[in-house]
Amino acid sequence: MTAGLCVAVLGLGEAGGAIARDLAGAGVRVRAYDPLPKRMDGLVACADEADAARGAGLVLSVNSAKAAEDALRAGLPGLGEGAVWADLNTGAPALKRRLGELAGDAFADVSLMAPVPGKGLHTPMLVSGPAARAYAGLLSPVGARVTVLDGPAGEAATRKLLRSVFFKGMAASVVEALYAARAAGLEDWMRAHIAEELTAADAAFAERLETGSHRHAARRAEEMRAAAELLTELDVPPRISEASRAWLAQLDGAP
């Protein structure tokens, strides 16, 4: 454990609260602030962002991308020399770069790469920016799973959001398929089919999907047009199906 470590946690929602609890459980002194007062045992309640940052070697901003810049501006007056300001919010790389310009060498761009509930401090993290190694050095000894990227602020955010395009897009597709299957009375079959396809996926799975989409774009675009018509008949909005059709139509004839 990092002896005498004091961490400020700004935002005690689902993610921030879980991380703060794990830090306190690891023997870390946690100074906490949330604009909506929340009582959490083992934490030092603070009046505002600057108050929380005062005396902390590491500040974790875990509120929201919308609030991230305001939180940083409010907290900077309390940030001590050599302390690290880590932004854990899911935000665009441009936002992370802007925060980095404000915080300078103290800034770490952190991306949480899995849902925090159930994992807390042990959620896999990517970190970039000038204070990336300092961040890892402070949290790794207390159980955090941190991968340092050699790059500026925004590098971690870029990887997180690219993953989101894939993973959240796949999740939306699964939800749409299950809604439609339920309406058609085929939910059990659909769930089993999804599980079978995902279980069979291997390292070449993405390449096969990409290559097949280019090679058979015209036919698959028509297939998704028919799928969208089916969903409309079933009273399920074909949002993902229509988006898929549009992408395939664009790929038709592309190099």
Q: What is the mean pLDDT of the chain?
A: 95
Task: Report pLDDT digits (tens) over 153-212.
Answer: 999 999 999 999 999 999 999 999 999 999 999 999 999 999 999 999 999 999 999 999
Distance set, CA 229 to CA 130, 225, 226 (Å): 51, 6, 5
Please give the pLDDT value at position 39. Answer: 80
Task: Report pLDDT digits (tens) over 94-108.
Answer: 999 999 999 999 999
Whether residue 253 is predicted with pLDDT greater than 80 in this model: the reply is no
Please give the pLDDT value at position 40. Answer: 82
CA neighbor of 74 nearest in space, from 53, 95, 91: 53
Whether residue 4 is predicted with pLDDT greater than 90 in this model: the reply is no
DSSP one-letter code for 12? -
Task: Report pLDDT digits (tens) over 203-237.
Answer: 999 999 999 999 999 999 999 999 999 999 999 99
Question: In this structure, which topology does domain 6-151 adopt according to CATH?
Answer: Rossmann fold (3.40.50)
Please give the pLDDT value at position 27. Answer: 94
CA neighbor of 36 nearest in space, from 61, 66, 10, 73: 10
CA neighbor of 220 nearest in space, from 177, 189, 211, 171: 211
- Mean pLDDT throughout 111-138? 97
Whether residue 50 is predicted with pLDDT greater than 90 in this model: the reply is yes
Give the model's confidence band at 3: pLDDT under 50 very low, under 70 low, under 90 confident, else very high. low
CA angle 82, 95, 100 (to 5 degrees): 20
